[in-house]
Amino acid sequence: MQLQTNKKHKKQKFKKEDLNNVEFDSCEFINCDFSEINFYNTEFIECKFDGCNFSSAIIGDVSFKDVEFLDCKIIGVDFSVCNEFLLSFSFNNCTLDYSLFSNLKMSKTKFYNSSLVEVDFSNSNLQSSEFDNCNLMGSVFENSNLEKVDFTTAINFSIDPEVNKMKKAKFSTLGANLLLDKYKLDIR
């Protein structure tokens, strides 16, 4: 496996062969394009992605260990197939619409100021994660561990407490009303 350490990539359009069998350690990617790339046996360790495009990338067998995504476009990406060993990432001001995080153990994940429209979190362990100022319209939480998750400033979510673990999850007053949405109650 090839190793790249402390390298800065700017405005690079990556090809499949650039990313296969490579370990990136403490690298920074600025305004790079990974769209529609099929990654294979790739590791990102303590890396930062700033303004990058991952739309429709295929990330099977990819490791994300302490990785930060900032201002990235990550539309339609199936994270459920990535390597779960030491999985740790955060998203700030990202568009993650139509992506999949189902069946992942991703506790303490931070989502800040991000769009998560129609994202699938089914069967995920999100314990102690944060959705700070995030749009969760149409996102699916089913059989998920949402214990201690902070939804205080999240909007447009629909979560059924009957099919999720939610002990000590945090909601605003308005958000708490959304938990009752399936009952079609008239709350004033």
What band does 150 get if pLDDT is binned at 50, 70 and 90? very high
Q: Check whether 13 has a pLDDT greater than 60.
A: yes
What band does 173 get if pLDDT is binned at 50, 70 and 90? confident
What is the dihedral sign for C-alpha 99, 102, 104, 110? positive
End-to-end alpha carbon distance in the chain = 60
pLDDT tens-place string over residues 125-143 = 999 999 999 999 999 999 9
In CATH, the number for domain 101-188 is 2.160.20.80
By residue count, the chain amounts to 188
State the alpha helices, DSSP H only, in the chain. Answer: 16-19, 173-178
User: Among 45, 83, 40, which residue's Cα sits nearest to residue 65?
Assistant: 45
| pLDDT for the residue numbered 187 | 59
pTM of the model: 0.93
Q: Check whether 183 has a pLDDT greater than 70.
A: no
pLDDT tens-place string over residues 106-126 = 999 999 999 999 999 999 999
Q: Which long-range contacts (CB under 8 A, 24 or more apart) does 41-49 make?
A: 41/1, 43/1, 43/83
Per-residue pLDDT averaged across 7-23, rounded?
Answer: 89
Q: Which residue has the tokens 């030491």?
A: 86
- Mean pLDDT lowest among 62-71, 81-90, 162-171, 173-182: 173-182
Indicate the average pLDDT of the chain: 93
pLDDT tens-place string over residues 46-71 = 999 999 999 999 998 899 999 999 99
Hey, where are the domains in the chain? 101-188
